[in-house]
Amino acid sequence: MLTGRFPSPLSSDRVRPDVAVVGAGPIGLAIAWRCAARGLRVVVHDPAPGSGASAVAAGMLSPVAEAYFGERQLTALLLASAARWPAFAAELTETTGVEIGYRTEGTLMVGLTGDDLAEARRLWAYQQGLGLPVTPLRPSELRDREPALAPRVRGGALAPTDHQVDPRLLVPALRTAARRAGVVLVPQPVRQLSDVDAGVTVVAAGCGAAALTGLPVRPVKGQILRLRASDGVAPGFRHVIRGYADGEHVYLVPRAGGEVVLGATVEERSDTTVTAGAVQRLLRAGVDLLPELAEYDLVEAVAGLRPGTPDNAPILGPLPDRPDVLAATGHHRHGIVLTPITADLIADLVLGGVPDPLLTPLRADRFRPAGAAVGGPELTMEGSPWS
């Protein structure tokens, strides 16, 4: 119970902020916006706002297509956040006047070969078993929806409620909304938590949270490409397409402005170099699914670092030994879809002091040190409801 530990919005202290947020990615900015809109004095520390994982992210809001085996509770959280996206997007656009590329055409999941389709169908059956909206389509139905798909594509399914947003529009919009609500940006890094003086500190620094808190957040590298039709016309497909192509898992996200985002690798590494092999694999799979891409310009090849956790779920709540420091990190592959619910839950916690029950399985102390080991304490999944 956190009631009483946090400052009142009516505090007479004019200098000390009520809330200091470390990190101006989508998570930190959305939390800052929500807190400031409810009357708190908020500062955000970041030397390079929006330069983390969100700078490269595809922006898929895919709780259904990303409902994976063994992650039922995470799926429930993703669904709950995705349900908040329409209102969140509308409010953000209304507040800032900025369109954020929120699109609702839905997601097509496809398999190129018989083997690919067999693998995909197993997952679709699992997703349908959870009661999620996944509609298998015959090849002819698939092509009616997306004529640009390669004739070789063997089959697919529609996830109509999986949408998309453009993170490169989202983050500046959140920055504008936060600024208009009174949030002050301090363009400096936070080297240690003791440098921050505020009623509550929220660590929303993505991969940077590990060094500040000791929490088990690790970088998971993702290489991703951006292509554009050389004549500047919009892509010849409207849905987000997630495909299995000769064993390679890729997604293709069409943007209204003509861009196609093609991603992404998942690598247990912390560098951001782009490798020829990864580019080759992504392009081969992408062109196999949508042959028209071969004619596109390759305009960008980048890598970003997802803030991963041992159980793939975010860490939201007070540090075990610092009730005045809240973690809001570890969003891994889902930080864009989880932005609305994270912001609401953390703002409610800061304002009300009482954690929402949704936060219980996300608490920071679910990873318990199992004993000293070389290089730091060994972490166990014991007790984690996500395992």
Ligand X SMILES: Cc1cc2nc3c(=O)[nH]c(=O)nc-3n(C[C@H](O)[C@H](O)[C@H](O)COP(=O)(O)OP(=O)(O)OC[C@H]3O[C@@H](n4cnc5c(N)ncnc54)[C@H](O)[C@@H]3O)c2cc1C
Instruction: Compare residues 117 and 329 and give the one whose CB is closer to ligand X.
Output: 329
Q: How far is the CB of 12 from ligand X (least distance, A)?
A: 29
Nearest approach, Cβ of residue 215 and ligand X (Å): 12
Taking CB under 6 A as the criterion, which residues in 283-322 touch ligand X?
304, 306-307
> Applying CB under 6 A, which of residues 36, 132, 205, 351 lies at the interface with ligand X?
205
**Nearest distance, CB of residue 117 and ligand X, angstroms:** 23
Q: Of these, 7, 26, 199, 254, which contacts ligand X (CB under 6 A)?
A: 26
Among 17, 18, 19, 25, binds ligand X (CB under 6 A): 25
Site string for ligand X, 162-181 (x = CB under 6 A): --------------------
Interface with ligand X in residues 43-82 (CB under 6 A): 45-46, 48-54, 56-60
In three-state form (DSSP H/G/I as H, E/B as E, the rest C), the secondary structure along the chain is CCCCCCCCCCCCCCCCCCEEEECCCHHHHHHHHHHHHCCCCEEEECCCCCCCHHHCCCCEECCCCCCCCCCHHHHHHHHHHHHHHHHHHHHHHHHHCCCCCCECCCEEEEECCHHHHHHHHHHHHHHHHCCCCCEEECHHHHHHHCCCCCCCCCEEEEECCCEECCHHHHHHHHHHHHHHCCCEEECCCCCCHHHCCCCEEEECCHHHHHHHHCCCCEEEEEEEEEEECCCCCCCCCCCEEEEEECCEEEEEEECCCCEEEEECCCECCCCCCCCHHHHHHHHHHHHHHCHHHHHCEEEEEEEEEEEECCCCCCEEEEECCEEEEEEEECCHHHCCCCHHHHHHHHHHHHHHCCCCHHHHHHCHHHCEECCCCCCCCCEECCCCCCC
> Count of CB atoms within 10 A of residue 321's CB?
9
Is-contact 27 339, C-beta < 8 A?
Answer: yes
Q: Which residue's CB is nearer to ligand X, number 57 or number 123?
A: 57
By C-beta, is 83 or 139 nearer to ligand X? 83
Measured from the CB atom, the residue of 267 and 324 that comes closer to ligand X is 267
Residue closer to ligand X, measured from CB, 281 or 332:
332
User: Cβ of residue 47: shortest distance to ligand X, in angstroms?
Assistant: 6
State the minimum distance, in angstroms, from the CB of residue 82 to ligand X: 10
**Cβ proximity to ligand X, 82 vs 117, nearer residue:** 82
Amino acid identity of residue 274, one-letter, is V
Residues 239-278 that bind ligand X (CB under 6 A): 263-264
Q: What is the nearest approach in angstroms of ligand X to the Cβ of residue 55?
A: 7
Count of residues of this chain found to bind ligand X when the rule CB under 6 A is applied: 43
Contacting ligand X (CB under 6 A), which of 318, 335, 340, 355?
A: 335
Cα(153)–Cα(371) distance, integer angstroms: 50
Stretches 107-115, 173-181, 267-275, 329-337: which one binds ligand X (CB under 6 A)?
329-337
Q: Which of 7, 199, 208, 235 binds ligand X (CB under 6 A)?
A: 208
Sign of the Cα pseudo-torsion (238, 239, 240, 245, in order):
negative
Comparing CB distances to ligand X, the nearer of 137 and 185 is: 185
CA distance 109 to 243: 6
Q: How far is the CB of 116 from ligand X (least distance, A)?
A: 21
- In the complex, what is the shortest distance from the CB of residue 163 to ligand X, in angstroms, rounded to a whole number? 11
| Selection from 330, 350, 351, 382 nearest residue 27 by Cα | 330
Rounded to the nearest whole angstrom, what is the least distance from the CB of residue 274 to ligand X in the complex? 11
Of 7, 17, 23, 216, the residue at the interface with ligand X (CB under 6 A) is: 23
Other C-beta atoms lying within 10 Å of the C-beta of residue 87: 10
Residue 3 C-beta: closest distance to ligand X, Å: 27
Residues near ligand X (CB under 6 A): 22-28, 45-46, 48-54, 56-60, 189-190, 204-206, 208, 212, 222, 224, 263-264, 304, 306-307, 329, 331-337
